[in-house]
Amino acid sequence: SAVISQKPSRDICQRGTSLTIQCQVDSQVTMMFWYRQQPGQSLTLIATANQGSEATYESGFVIDKFPISRPNLTFSTLTVSNMSPEDSSIYLCSGLTGKGTEAFFGQGTRLTVV
Amino acid sequence: AQSVAQPEDQVNVAEGNPLTVKCTYSVSGNPYLFWYVQYPNRGLQFLLKYITGDNLVKGSYGFEAEFNKSQTSFHLKKPSALVSDSALYFCAVREDGGATNKLIFGTGTLLAVQP
């Protein structure tokens, strides 16, 4: 298994600003993902974070709004840019190990935009 | 396209009674199926998975799930519910050999266990 740490765990931000969320894994993972969980909703995949190259975004998500970095196999960041109240959600980092088939999740970052 | 359905927004059960949380799926190939649990203000915790083999899989905290290929279902079960089982449960699917390894989640089912 893998232990995934996210920070910050929560934040309250002003609209128009940006927030960068960090995700650190305690062991190498082959794939890393970022999900959004809007209030009372399920998880929606934002993008797959690719090491050393541009992330692969899902339909409805764009790099300008959610830039993602993954400089190595154990670390990734997600930035929520030019925030609006509609961006208020829980953002979760997930990792998939080479041997395992199940994905592991961080504890999430609860973002409130005011 | 892959999809997961959890038909019940909420399941209520008395402590000590058996519980079932339903899940059906749709994939074009062989499915990898998962159950996760989310406690308030926490991330997702992995409960169990079906990859291949025995249709009945056992997981954490006494939970089990039965894979039924003909009904494309993967219902979560527990013989005797605990109040501490109260949480949000998500079913998820990934296609074996798919181009990506992304998980598709159901909408979640809130399990409420009454003492």
What is the domain-level CATH number for residue B64? 2.60.40.10
Q: Is the distance from CB of A77 to CB of A69 less than 8 angstroms?
A: yes
Q: Is the confidence at residue A28, as pLDDT, over 90?
A: no
Pairwise CA distance, residues B67 & B70, whole Å? 9
Q: How do the domains of chain A map onto residue ranges? A: 4-113
**Domain range for B63:** 3-114
Cβ distance A106 to B43 less than 8 Å, yes or no, reads yes
A4-113, what's its fold? Answer: Immunoglobulin-like (2.60.40)
What pLDDT, in 10s, does the model give residues A57-73?
Answer: 999 999 999 999 999 98
What pLDDT, in 10s, does the model give residues B48-72?
Answer: 999 888 999 999 999 999 999 999 9
Hey, is the C-beta of B39 within 8 angstroms of any chain A C-beta?
Answer: no
Pairwise CA distance, residues A67 & A61, whole Å? 10
Task: Return the pLDDT at A99.
Answer: 59
Q: Is the distance from CB of A29 to CB of A97 less than 8 angstroms?
A: yes
Structure token pair of residue B68: 């039924």
Cβ distance B108 to A107 less than 8 Å, yes or no, reads no
* Nearest CA-CA distance, residue A2 and chain B, Å: 11
- What is the domain count for chain B? 1
Percent of chain B, pLDDT > 90?
A: 75
Q: Is the confidence at residue A1, as pLDDT, over 80?
A: no
Task: Return the pLDDT at B64.
Answer: 97
What pLDDT, in 10s, does the model give residues A70-112?
Answer: 999 899 999 999 999 999 999 999 998 765 578 899 999 999 9
